[in-house]
Amino acid sequence: MASPLFVSFDGPKGTGKTTLIRSVSELLQPYVTLRCLVEKDLDPFATESRRLLSAAGPRPTQEVEAEVVEKFARGRAWITEHVLRLATEHVVLMDRWFPSDAAFRRHVPFAESLEANQRAGVAIPDLVIATTCDPRESWLRAHARHRGLDSVVIHDEVSHAEATRRFEAAAQTHRWALIRTEEPAEVIAGHVYRLIAEHLPL
């Protein structure tokens, strides 16, 4: 049996990533078997990583970040082995994966984070949907959500704008599908659906 098409959705806070996954899954469901996953809900080390970052305060040191990068890589390796490799669906949509490190790690260059994930044997997405928008807009969206900003590393609008710039630069370097989410939701979802369909015999 062929492996599922693995699509990760990554981006700064408040860019509409989770809403986009929901909309795209509704478009795909009539044609393929589908599984939607959330990295933080599966990572056995997520609580430990969050505790480390919370204890470090608004500006984690390079040493803390490096430790967190390794823990996230171990968690993704576990998900790769125990979830992704056992998946039988046509498509797996993942809410965050290692491309998101490009936004949230200040001291550890993304190249080092990528290397740590590769070393751990983490699955590489067939397609990365890199969601972004004007950081002023995503900052407002994040605070309007029921759960709020929900971040232990982003504490102000300046750091959020920096995260957006880092992520967009990485998306261009690695040729991820950079999706701006200022357009109407149905337009964005349709565009992403077509990107995924190009990889599937729909």
> Is residue 18 a part of any domain in this protein?
yes
Instruction: Give the pLDDT score at 155.
Output: 77
193 closest CA partner among 38, 26, 35: 26
Query: What average pLDDT does the segment 77-82 reach?
Result: 98
Q: Provide, rounded to the nearest whole percent, the portion of the chain with pLDDT above 90.
A: 81
Structural domains counted in the chain:
1
CA–CA separation, 13 vs 183, rounded Å? 17
Query: What average pLDDT does the segment 32-52 reach?
Result: 95
Query: What average pLDDT does the segment 166-175 reach?
Result: 97
> Is residue 110 a part of any domain in this protein?
yes
183 closest CA partner among 13, 21, 16: 16
- Residue 78 CA to chain centroid, in angstroms? 17
Residue 38: strand pairing partners: 95
Instruction: Give the pLDDT score at 72.
Output: 96
Name the band, by pLDDT with cuts 50, 70 and 90, for residue 176.
Answer: very high
Can you give the residue range of the structural domain that contains 57?
5-197
CA–CA separation, 56 vs 33, rounded Å? 42
6-23 confidence digits (pLDDT tens): 999 999 999 999 999 999
> Is residue 71 a part of any domain in this protein?
yes
Say if CB 82 and CB 121 are below 8 A apart.
no
> Is residue 146 a part of any domain in this protein?
yes
> Is residue 168 a part of any domain in this protein?
yes
Tokens of 34: 């589908």
> Is residue 181 a part of any domain in this protein?
yes
Instruction: Give the pLDDT score at 153.
Output: 79
> Is residue 202 a part of any domain in this protein?
no
Q: How many CB atoms lie within 10 A of CB 136?
A: 12
Tell whether pTM > 0.85.
Answer: yes
113-168 confidence digits (pLDDT tens): 999 999 999 999 999 999 999 999 999 988 887 777 677 777 789 889 999 999 99
Q: Give the CATH number, domain containing residue 11.
A: 3.40.50.300
